[in-house]
Amino acid sequence: MTEPTTPQPPQQSFYDAVGGPPTFERLVHEFYRRVAADPELRAMYPEQDLGPAERRLRMFLEQYWGGPKAYSQERGHPRLRMRHVDFAVTPTMRDHWLTHMYAAVDTLDLDPSHDLVLRDYLERAAYMLVNAPEND
């Protein structure tokens, strides 16, 4: 005879573990606050108002980390490389992006293990999006 098993609670998503909506709102808002003050990186954003870009990135990150599926519902599959193909993402622009994103992560005061996981993903994503050499 086998012993009855106790149902295990569903595993918590990264999204929920780090604080859900307020965490992702803060992360992305802090990132775009820094982008607005970086003339080189800011030039890559064609919209006068960074609000729509901020919303899109927040929705993408929330969905990626296990939150609401609003990004796909509104925009379809993320297709990150395709969505960035019209922009010259050079290693320098990648580094600007990472500098501002890491500074935004610093404002979150995450558990060290969550901080490491988030930074690892952001770095891999940033390197994957490089699509142009430096302009000499």
Question: Which one-letter amino acid corresponds to residue 57?
Answer: L
Residue-wise pLDDT tens digits, 71-91:
999 888 878 777 777 778 999
Nearest CA among 83, 104, 88, 84 for reference residue 35: 104
Contact of 118 with 17, CB cutoff 8 Å:
no
User: Against a cut of 0.85, is the pTM above it?
Assistant: yes
pLDDT at 135: 74
In tens, the pLDDT along 34-62 reads: 999 999 999 988 888 899 999 999 999 99
Longest Cα–Cα distance in the chain: 74
Question: For the chain, which domains are there?
Answer: 18-128 (1.10.490.10)
Question: pLDDT tens for residues 80-119?
Answer: 777 777 778 999 999 999 999 999 999 999 999 999 999 9
- CA–CA distance from 108 to each of 56, 66, 80, 103, 104 (Å)? 20, 18, 25, 9, 7
